[in-house]
Amino acid sequence: MMNFSRIGWQEARAMLAEYGEDGVHIVDVRDEGAYEAGHVENAIHLSGSNVAEFVQTADPDKPVLVYCYHGNSSQSAAAYLAEQGFDAAFSIDGGYETYHDKLTV
């Protein structure tokens, strides 16, 4: 069974710097209104309506950085993506509300 890892924003930022924007998937699992109000640059809004399409079309070899509001819901989403075959799924501790300004490269 595949598993996910929990990382902080500093680690997520370093991973983004290392792999570049095209080398990772950044996934926002907050509600659509929150995503529309502001999200990490290049983040994909993932919800029940598009998760199957993401799983089918996204490159499972790229790391997936998942964030939510505070770092709780992202753990379930990262675990699900790991179960779907994503080799490196990461839940970002703290979520968007606390650390949204720390991901810019």
In this predicted model, what pLDDT tens digit does every residue of 60-96 receive, in sequence order?
999 999 999 999 999 999 999 999 999 999 999 999 9
Say if residues 46 and 8 touch (Cβ distance below 8 Å).
no
Give catalytic status of residue 56 as yes or no. no
Annotate 3-54 with DSSP letters as a single string. --EEE-HHHHHHHHHHH-GGGSEEEE-S-HHHHHH---TTPEE--TTTHHHH
Which of 68, 81, 88, 103 is labelled catalytic? 68
- Report the predicted TM-score, pTM, of the whole model to 2 decimal places: 0.91
Query: Does residue 8 register a pLDDT over 50?
Result: yes
Confidence band for 31, pLDDT divided at 50, 70 and 90: very high
Domains assigned to the chain: 5-102 (3.40.250.10)
